[in-house]
């Protein structure tokens, strides 16, 4: 069976919900298809001790502020509760669980094939995030090492590593937070392929969002790009990371050149390890767009704003700064979602096809 709508949104995380908020306000017929059993996008899968890097008021979606968290920065479960309540509050039409397998061109429309039937849409917004595509770099010896290897997505708590020798790989926020936590129960070594860049103490998500806003305004006005978050540094000194620095465990070694049977090695120097945690980031989850052949030679999807250059009926939301400054953050995605829906609005108005 094929269901006809104006817009299909793929992904029911924060980016999909922000799109839904503006689509509903514009009066479009739309559906949000999400492959999870429950609301929250990636947030229910994150490790339980994870806290946001900003206060609740800097983590709100459009329309309804995230309720305050009384004690410091909110934990991941507060985000899940907020996103769950947000869906209900705005009566967003979410079909769950529905896995989108492919988006294909069909005359003036796009066909969305799923494991629960087919949707025909005039426009598609893809908001599938990155959580389903953990990135693992390839290093010599990766298949030789007999210890345990896991990615950030598999991490649950430091308790399971008690007494072990653990290597954490990666230079971003996740890596720094995992080092801070795992080092409370295990002998922990941190390796990065360039020296970690710490934000000044006290610069948290608030400052980052202000920076993203300034960037969005500058770009919209056609001024020179003042640079994104990376211009400031990478790692937010959240309380756990500050505490780790106080304990003297926040010192990174250069990247090893190979894994061995029972550890890691830099030239002749060997370090025993039971566990290697790859906190090496993510890639956009875009397999469902493969039939559209959108990627360029660099492997990314070129966009103008949020619109795919090679398929103007498709918008991409979230994923990273390449779909808009701060688009892959709770607060930032609202601005990008608004722009995407406004852009697609114009489009639909220009569409002369009979309903
Ligand atoms: P997701 O939350 O991943 O949602 C995408 C949804 O689409 C998921 O439900 C997924 O299952 C679904 N999906 C995927 N493929 C398909 C398909 N083919 N068919 C149907 N459904 C599909 N941001 C902040 O603002 N503040 C923070 O403090 C912060 N901390 C972070 C900490 C970590 C460890 C990480 C990884 C990210 C953090 N972020 C933070 C960044 C960002 O807010 C999150 O990554 C967020 O989950 C992105 O939301 P999203 O909606 O783009 O993607």
pLDDT 10s digits, 32-49: 999 999 999 999 999 989
* 288 within ligand 1 shell (Cβ under 6 A): yes
Lowest mean pLDDT among 5-19, 61-75, 222-236: 222-236
Question: Among 244, 263, 278, where does a domain finish?
Answer: 278
Residues 127 and 240 in one domain: no
Residue nearest to atom 27 of ligand 1 (CA): 52
Those residues whose C-beta lies under 8 Å from the C-beta of residue 230, and which sit 6 or more positions away, are none
Residue 332: band (very low, low, confident or very high) from pLDDT cuts 50, 70, 90: very high
Q: What is the mean pLDDT of residues 242-252?
A: 95
The predicted-structure confidence for 47-85, as pLDDT tens digits, reads as follows: 989 999 888 999 999 999 999 999 889 999 999 999 999
Q: What is the mean pLDDT of residues 207-230?
A: 70
Query: If DSSP codes are grouped into helix, strand and coil, which group holds residue 160?
Result: helix
Task: Report the separation in Å between the CA atom of 49 and the middle of ligand 1, taken as the mean of its atom positions.
Answer: 17
198 DSSP β-pair partners: 235
83 in a structural domain: yes
* 329 within ligand 1 shell (Cβ under 6 A): yes
Q: What is the mean pLDDT of residues 171-188?
A: 96
Task: Report the separation in Å between the CA atom of 220 and the middle of ligand 1, taken as the mean of its atom positions.
Answer: 25
256 in a structural domain: yes
CB atoms within 10 A of CB 353: 9
- Torsion sign (Cα): 30, 33, 37, 42: negative
The predicted-structure confidence for 110-137, as pLDDT tens digits, reads as follows: 999 999 999 999 999 999 999 999 999 9
* 39 within ligand 1 shell (Cβ under 6 A): no
Question: What's the pLDDT at 203?
Answer: 78
CB atoms within 10 A of CB 140: 12
- Backbone phi, then psi, for 315, in 5-degree steps? -115, 150
The pairing of strands 258-260 and 263-266 is antiparallel
* 327 within ligand 1 shell (Cβ under 6 A): no
**Contact call for residues 24 and 340 (beta carbons, < 8 A):** no
**Contact call for residues 290 and 283 (beta carbons, < 8 A):** no
Which atom from ligand 1 is nearest to the alpha carbon of 11? 7
Instruction: Write the DSSP string, 196-233.
Output: --BPPTT--HHHHHHHHHHHHHHHHTT------GGGT-
The predicted-structure confidence for 79-104, as pLDDT tens digits, reads as follows: 999 999 999 999 999 999 999 999 99
Instruction: Please indicate whether residue 8 or residue 350 has the higher confidence score (pLDDT).
Output: 8
Residue 352: band (very low, low, confident or very high) from pLDDT cuts 50, 70, 90: very low
* 40 within ligand 1 shell (Cβ under 6 A): no
Question: What's the pLDDT at 355?
Answer: 43
- Torsion sign (Cα): 201, 209, 18, 91: positive
| CATH code, 302 | 3.50.50.60
Which atom from ligand 1 is nearest to the alpha carbon of 130? 3
Counting ligand 1 atoms within 8 A of each CB, the residue from 21, 83, 95, 128 with the most, and so the one to mutate, is 128
Cα–Cα distances (Å) from 2 to 5, 111, 119, 120, in that order, read: 10, 9, 5, 7
The two tokens of residue 35 are 């492959």
pLDDT of 182 higher than 80: yes
Query: How far is C-alpha 161 from the geometric centre of its chain's CA atoms?
Result: 26
300 in a structural domain: yes
Question: What's the pLDDT at 63?
Answer: 97
Question: What's the pLDDT at 219?
Answer: 74
As a whole number of angstroms, the distance between CA 340 and CA 30 comes to 14
pLDDT of 231 higher than 70: no
Burial state string for 145-180 with b = 16 or more CB within 10 A and e = fewer than 16: bebebbbbbebeebeebeebbbbbbbbbbbbbbbbb
Question: What's the pLDDT at 228?
Answer: 60
Which atom from ligand 1 is nearest to the alpha carbon of 333? 52
Residue 1: band (very low, low, confident or very high) from pLDDT cuts 50, 70, 90: confident
Residues 6 and 122 in one domain: yes
Mean pLDDT over each residue of the chain, to the nearest integer: 92
Residues 14 and 127 in one domain: yes
225 in a structural domain: no
Residues 127 and 190 in one domain: no
293 in a structural domain: yes
Question: What's the pLDDT at 354?
Answer: 44
Q: What is the mean pLDDT of residues 271-293?
A: 97
Residues 90 and 181 in one domain: no
Q: What is the mean pLDDT of residues 304-312?
A: 95
347 in a structural domain: yes
**Overall number of domains in the chain:** 2
Residue 210: band (very low, low, confident or very high) from pLDDT cuts 50, 70, 90: confident
Range of the domain at 306: 2-132+282-351
Those residues whose C-beta lies under 8 Å from the C-beta of residue 103, and which sit 6 or more positions away, are 10, 110, 111, 112, 113, 124, 126, 288, 289, 291, 292, 314
298 in a structural domain: yes
- Burial level of 267, CB count in 10 A (0-12/13-18/19+)? exposed
Those residues whose C-beta lies under 8 Å from the C-beta of residue 352, and which sit 6 or more positions away, are none
Question: What's the pLDDT at 211?
Answer: 72
Residues 84 and 173 in one domain: no
* 335 within ligand 1 shell (Cβ under 6 A): no
Question: Among 224, 253, 278, where does a domain finish?
Answer: 278
Which atom from ligand 1 is nearest to the alpha carbon of 17? 51
Residues 25 and 116 in one domain: yes
Q: What is the mean pLDDT of residues 195-218?
A: 78
Residue 312: band (very low, low, confident or very high) from pLDDT cuts 50, 70, 90: very high
Question: Among 257, 278, 299, where does a domain finish?
Answer: 278
Q: Strands across the sheet with 258-260, in order?
A: 258-260, 263-266, 269-272
């Amino acid at each position: 069976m094929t269901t006809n709508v104006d817009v299909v949104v793929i992904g029911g995380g924060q980016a999909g919900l922000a799109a839904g908020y503006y689509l509903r306000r514009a009066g479009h017929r739309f559906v949000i298809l999400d492959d999870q059993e429950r609301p929250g996008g990636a947030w229910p899968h994150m490790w339980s001790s994870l806290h946001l890097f900003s206060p609740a008021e800097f983590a709100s979606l459009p329309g309804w502020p995230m309720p305050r968290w009384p004690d410091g920065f909110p934990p991941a479960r507060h985000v899940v509760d907020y996103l769950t309540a947000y869906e209900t509050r705005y009566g967003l039409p979410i079909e769950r669980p529905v896995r989108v397998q492919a988006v294909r061109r069909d005359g003036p429309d796009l066909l969305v094939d799923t494991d629960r039937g087919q949707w025909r849409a005039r426009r598609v917004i893809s908001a599938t995030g990155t959580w389903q595509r953990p990135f693992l770099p390839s290093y010599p010896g990766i298949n030789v090492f007999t210890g345990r290897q896991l990615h950030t997505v598999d991490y649950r708590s430091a308790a399971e590593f008690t007494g072990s020798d653990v290597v954490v790989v990666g230079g971003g926020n996740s890596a720094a937070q995992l080092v801070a936590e795992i080092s409370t129960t295990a002998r922990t070594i941190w390796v990065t392929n360039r020296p970690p860049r710490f934000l000044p103490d006290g610069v948290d998500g608030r400052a980052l969002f202000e920076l993203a806003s300034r960037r969005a305004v500058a770009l919209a006005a056609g001024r020179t790009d003042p640079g994104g978050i990376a211009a400031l540094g990478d790692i937010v000194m959240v309380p756990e990371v500050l505490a780790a620095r106080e304990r003297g465990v926040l010192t990174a070694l250069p990247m090893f050149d190979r894994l061995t049977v029972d550890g890691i090695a830099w030239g002749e120097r060997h370090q025993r390890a039971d566990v290697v945690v790859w906190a090496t980031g993510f890639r956009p989850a875009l397999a469902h767009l493969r039939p559209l052949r959108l990627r360029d030679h660099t492997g990314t999807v070129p966009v103008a704003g949020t619109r795919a250059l090679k398929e103007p009926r498709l918008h991409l939301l979230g994923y990273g700064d390449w779909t808009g400054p701060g688009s892959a953050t709770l607060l930032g995605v609202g601005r990008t979602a608004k722009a995407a829906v406004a852009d697609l609005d114009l489009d639909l108005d220009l569409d002369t096809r009979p309903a």
